Structure formats: structure tokens, C-alpha cells
């Protein structure tokens, strides 16, 4: 029967095409950046929830699962002052280079000006710590630019709160902004997706005026939850109008609810924006049981977001971020490394140096809690439709005559003090100091001139908006 043979041939071709697609996906080149000698040894101080030790734990799991055999493993370079000055102010970078725990009292005015201290403390090796995690993100962007990697991983990166002249939310240098600026040298459009439980405020502000970078953040809001930004009405300004997208959420977010919004929103963004590269901040504080977060996502649910983004086949830079129950952070990022390399791994944690952290069950995956999800279907649908409305106002795949804006800062965190190092639930209620207005609030909508940054001159200085924090300095 010729018709039957034709149908069989079509089915065979379709099956063959699917296999070829799967094979191409499995052959994607993955590069992993980590400095095993130093990265896990930095210490924010007693009682501080940010523990770089989680990176050593993640790396040891990656080694124990033999995932390193499926990636190119590279030691990141130390970012130079010149590289950091592409975004950060010269006086701020100079301060980070010079301040130490011993001479800290000599920098009292700068500590206040740059909001360093308490939740962003001065600790031994601070400057090299910033250079190291930043260097890994820039290196990853350079690999994507050169086409020598399809996926670049830097779990040490993802410090999304840092501003041009301010430390904020445990973040000093914004490696994400610097990596995106590097990507913009080659790629016309870059999409930034943030699944950390905190709003990616530092990245949003840096690109608030541009249509070359779209920022998409899914995050917790409500009460005094840090940083208190990222509302649905914050959509960007001038050329960047509708290119800053925010999906604020309430406590108890679970896998099913997150999937119901994440996939359709990302699909719509990919359809309208058509990015040439994607940067994904995979903060693990959105997991159930995080000592700072208040969501109820599983490791598999968290990784499903990464896999969905990966499925588009766009060059992707994968970064870490928050995550404060360290044993779950390492579990999550090791599992996501396995998903990025298409390697199945056992739920039983293989024996390694940090085995005791995973007792008593020694399992990779941990159960979620029975906490209530405060997000209703109606609320989620309403917010999703608002983002769809913003996207509908965009031209598909904007032209190449785009510019990149670098606004100033929005929020200054106040002191965060912990009396115990025990990993207990501590929802992130860091109090805020006086709110610093978003730079876009000072713009005249009728005058776009001067509000845009020529991307060929990324080090250009910008005057920041007035701030009450500068009084008396």
C-alpha cells in the first residue's frame, strides 16, 4: 500500500528528526567554572546566613557524581578593576580593594556611603572573593560569545542585589550585570531570568532603560520581605518600557503553581523577545526549608525551570544566587548540573568528604513541607495576564539600534543580625533604610536624549539621583 508506506516513511523521518534533536541537545558543550582552592574558604562571619562553603559542598557532589567528566572544568580568572568599572563606580571599586577588617574603622564614611557592614560585612579576602565570583561569570559570557560553550555554569555567581555604588543583600559586585555587558558585545538581545526568591533588583535597575536586555524576575513580596521591589507595574522606562517584567508572589509557592506560571510566561517572552543569549539566576532560597526563604519548591521543581529554559537551545549562562540551607543548596545545584549535562544520577548521595551534611538519609532529594500556598489561581492568572499585556505591546525581536541604560540604585538594606548559626527558618525580613527612588522616577518622558548609554562606552559615568543617605558625607 503506497499510502501506508508513505505514512511509515513520514513517521520514520519524524522519529529520526526527534532523535537528531535529542542527540544535538545531549552534545551541547558545557563549561563549568570553579576555584576549588579558595572559593569555599571565604567566611562572612559568625551567624551570617551567606556561607560560601556551600560552593565547596556543591563542587564535591559534582565530583562524587562524576559530572566533571561531562564538562570542561575551568578555573575562573580574577576580575580586574577595569572589568568591574564597566558597571561599578571607581570610588566604590577602590574602596572594596582597600578596606579590610583591620582598617575598617578608618573607612567609617565610606562604609555608610557604600552600605557595607552588617548584612554586607567586611571580611578577610573580600576583594579577591568579589574578583573570583565575578571573573567566573565574565569568563562564562566570553565562552558563549566565542561559541566554545553552549552552556556556562558559575554557581559562585548570581549576586543580583549589588548596585553601581552600593553593596546590598550580601552582594558587593554585580557579576550578572558585568556578564550581560560582556554578552552584549556579541549578542543583540539578552534575556535575564531570575528564580531566586528575592527580586533581582540590581540587574533590573542596571538595564531599566534598554530594550537590548529583558529582565524577568519571579520573587516573593509582602510585608518587609527584602528588597521590597519588583512590582507588576515596574516595567522599565524610555527605550526599556515593558522590558522589565516582574512576577511578585506570596509565601508557600509550590512546584505545580510555579510551573503553571513559569512555562507560559517564559514561552511568551521567548516568542516576543527572541533573545540571542540567556542568563539564568538559580538562587536556591526558593526551595522548601530554606532558612531565609518561605516557599515550598522541591529540587526537581526548581530544576524543571532550568530545563525548560535549556530546551530552547539558546546559549545560556547559569549562575547561583541565594540559598541559605547549605545542604539543600549543594543538592540542588549538583542535580541541576546533572540536568545541564543530561546525566542521570542516583538519589543516594555517593560517599565524599561532606557526607555528614546529608545525614540521616543521605539522599539527594528531600521532601517538601505541608505549608499552605497563599497564591490563589486567580491571583496568578491575573498577574500572568498583566505580563502578557506588556509583552503584547513590544515589537517582536526589536531592531539592533538599541541602547543600554545604567540607572543608579533603589534600595539600601539595613542591618541584619543573627544570634545563632543554626539553620532555622528565618524569613527574610531585613528592614530597609529610607527608600532611594528609582532613577527612572527622575526622567522626563518627553526627553529620551541623554538617558541612554552607548554600549561602546560602558564605563561612562552617570550622575545618580539625590539620596538622603548622602547627607553629611
Per-10-residue mean pLDDT for the chain, 473 residues long? 41 40 64 94 96 98 98 98 98 98 97 96 98 98 98 98 98 98 98 98 98 98 94 96 98 98 98 97 98 97 98 98 98 98 98 96 97 97 97 76 39 31 43 38 33 34 35 33
SS3 state of residue 277: strand
Which strand (E) or helix (H) includes residue 33? strand 30-33
Instruction: Evaluate whether 86 touches 364 at the Cβ level (below 8 Å).
Output: no
For residue 468, which phi and psi values (nearest 5 degrees)? Answer: -65, -25
pLDDT of 395: 77
The CA–CA distances, whole Å, from 11 to 8, 17, 23, 199, 376 equal 5, 10, 18, 46, 42
Query: Is residue 468 classed exposed, middle or buried when 0-12, 13-18 and 19+ CB atoms within 10 A define those classes?
Result: exposed
pLDDT of 26: 54
Q: Where are the beta strands (DSSP E) in 114-260?
A: 151-154, 190-194, 213-220, 244-249
Q: How far apart are CA 434 and CA 432, in angstroms?
A: 7
Angular region, 140: left φ>0, alpha ψ -120 to 50, beta rest: alpha
Strands 151-154 and 190-194 come out as unpaired
Q: How far apart are CA 309 and CA 302, in angstroms?
A: 12
Q: How far apart are CA 390 and CA 412, in angstroms?
A: 28
What is the separation of C-alpha 221 from the centre of its chain, rounded to a whole number of angstroms? Answer: 17
Integer-rounded Cα radius of gyration of the chain? 22
Edge-to-edge strand order for the sheet containing 316-319? 72-74, 30-33, 151-154, 316-319, 277-281, 190-194, 213-220, 244-249
pLDDT of 118: 87
Active site residue 302: no
Torsion angle, CA of 340/346/352/356, rounded to 10 degrees? Answer: 110
Instruction: Evaluate whether 215 touches 194 at the Cβ level (below 8 Å).
Output: yes
DSSP for 93-155, written as a single string: HHHHHH--TTTGGGGHHHHHHTT-BTTB---TTHHHHHHHHHHHHHHHHHHHHHTS-SEEEET
For residue 358, which phi and psi values (nearest 5 degrees)? Answer: -105, 10
Task: Dig out the grid coordinates for 169 from the structure.
Answer: 543583600
SS3 state of residue 266: helix
pLDDT of 462: 29
Active-site choice (48, 88, 160, 161): 161
What is the separation of C-alpha 50 from the centre of its chain, rounded to a whole number of angstroms? Answer: 15
- Please state, as a whole number, how many other Cβ atoms lie within 10 Å of the Cβ of residue 390: 21
The count of C-alpha atoms lying within 13 angstroms of the C-alpha of 120, restricted to the half-sphere facing its C-beta, is 26
SS3 state of residue 89: coil
Query: Is residue 223 classed exposed, middle or buried when 0-12, 13-18 and 19+ CB atoms within 10 A define those classes?
Result: exposed
CB neighbour burial string for 323-343, b if at least 16 within 10 angstroms, e if fewer:
bbbbbbbbbbbbbbbbbbbee
pLDDT of 3: 42
Task: Dig out the grid coordinates for 238 from the structure.
Answer: 524610555
Instruction: Tell whether pTM > 0.85.
Output: no
The secondary structure of residue 193, as a DSSP letter, is E
Dihedral sign for Cα atoms in the order 404, 407, 271, 333: positive
Which strand (E) or helix (H) includes residue 8? helix 2-26
Instruction: Evaluate whether 304 touches 287 at the Cβ level (below 8 Å).
Output: no
Amino acid at each position: 500500500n503506497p499510502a501506508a508506506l508513505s505514512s511509515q516513511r513520514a513517521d520514520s523521518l519524524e522519529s529520526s528528526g526527534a532523535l537528531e534533536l535529542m542527540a544535538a541537545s545531549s552534545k551541547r558543550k558545557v563549561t563549568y567554572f570553579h576555584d576549588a582552592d579558595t572559593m569555599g574558604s571565604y567566611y562572612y562571619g559568625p551567624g551570617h546566613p551567606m556561607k560560601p562553603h556551600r560552593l565547596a559542598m556543591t563542587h564535591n557532589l559534582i565530583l562524587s557524581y562524576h559530572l566533571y567528566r561531562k564538562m570542561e572544568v575551568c578555573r575562573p580568572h580574577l576580575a580586574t578593576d577595569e572589568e568591574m568599572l564597566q558597571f561599578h563606580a571607581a570610588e566604590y571599586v577602590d574602596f572594596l580593594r582597600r578596606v579590610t577588617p583591620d582598617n575598617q574603622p578608618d573607612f567609617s564614611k565610606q562604609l555608610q556611603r557604600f552600605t557595607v557592614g552588617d548584612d554586607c560585612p567586611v571580611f578577610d579576602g573580600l576583594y579577591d572573593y568579589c574578583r573570583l565570583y565575578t571573573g567566573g561569570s565574565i569568563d562564562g559570557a566570553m565562552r558563549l560569545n566565542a561559541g566554545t560553550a553552549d552552556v556556562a555554569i558559575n554557581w559562585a555567581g548570581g549576586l543580583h542585589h549589588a548596585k553601581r555604588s552600593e553593596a546590598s543583600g550580601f552582594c558587593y559586585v554585580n557579576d550578572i550585570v558585568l556578564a550581560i555587558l560582556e554578552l552584549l558585545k556579541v549578542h543583540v538581545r539578552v534575556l535575564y531570568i531570575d528564580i531566586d526568591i528575592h527580586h533581582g533588583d540590581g540587574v533590573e535597575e542596571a538595564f531599566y532603560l534598554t530594550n537590548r536586555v529583558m529582565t524577568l524576575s519571579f520573587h516573593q513580596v509582602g510585608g518587609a520581605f527584602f528588597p521590597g521591589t519588583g512590582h507588576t507595574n515596574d516595567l522599565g522606562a524610555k527605550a526599556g518600557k515593558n522590558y522589565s517584567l516582574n512576577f511578585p508572589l506570596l509565601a508557600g509557592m509550590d512546584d505545580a503553581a510555579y510551573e503553571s506560571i513559569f512555562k507560559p510566561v517564559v514561552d511568551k517572552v521567548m516568542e516576543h523577545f527572541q533573545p540571542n543569549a540567556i542568563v539564568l539566576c538559580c538562587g536556591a532560597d526558593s526551595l522548601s526549608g530554606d532558612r531565609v526563604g518561605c516557599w515550598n519548591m522541591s529540587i526537581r521543581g526548581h530544576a524543571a525551570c532550568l530545563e525548560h529554559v535549556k530546551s530552547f537551545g539558546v546559549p545560556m549562562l547559569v549562575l547561583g544566587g541565594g540559598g541559605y540551607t547549605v545542604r539543600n543548596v549543594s543538592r540542588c545545584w549538583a542535580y541541576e548540573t546533572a540536568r545541564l549535562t543530561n546525566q542521570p544520577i542516583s538519589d543516594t548521595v555517593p560517599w565524599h568528604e561532606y557526607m555528614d551534611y546529608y545525614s540521616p538519609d543521605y539522599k539527594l532529594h528531600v521532601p517538601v513541607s505541608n505549608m499552605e500556598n497563599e497564591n490563589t489561581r486567580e491571583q496568578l492568572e491575573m498577574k500572568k495576564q498583566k505580563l502578557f499585556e506588556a509583552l503584547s505591546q513590544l515589537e517582536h525581536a526589536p531592531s539592533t539600534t538599541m541602547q543600554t541604560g545604567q540607572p543608579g540604585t533603589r534600595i539600601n538594606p539595613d542591618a541584619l543580625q543573627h544570634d545563632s548559626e543554626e539553620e532555622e527558618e528565618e524569613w527574610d525580613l531585613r528592614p530597609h533604610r529610607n527608600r532611594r527612588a528609582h532613577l527612572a522616577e527622575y526622567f522626563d518622558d518627553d526627553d529620551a536624549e541623554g538617558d541612554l548609554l552607548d554600549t561602546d562606552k560602558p564605563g561612562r559615568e552617570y550622575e545618580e539621583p539625590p539620596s538622603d543617605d548622602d547627607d553629611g558625607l
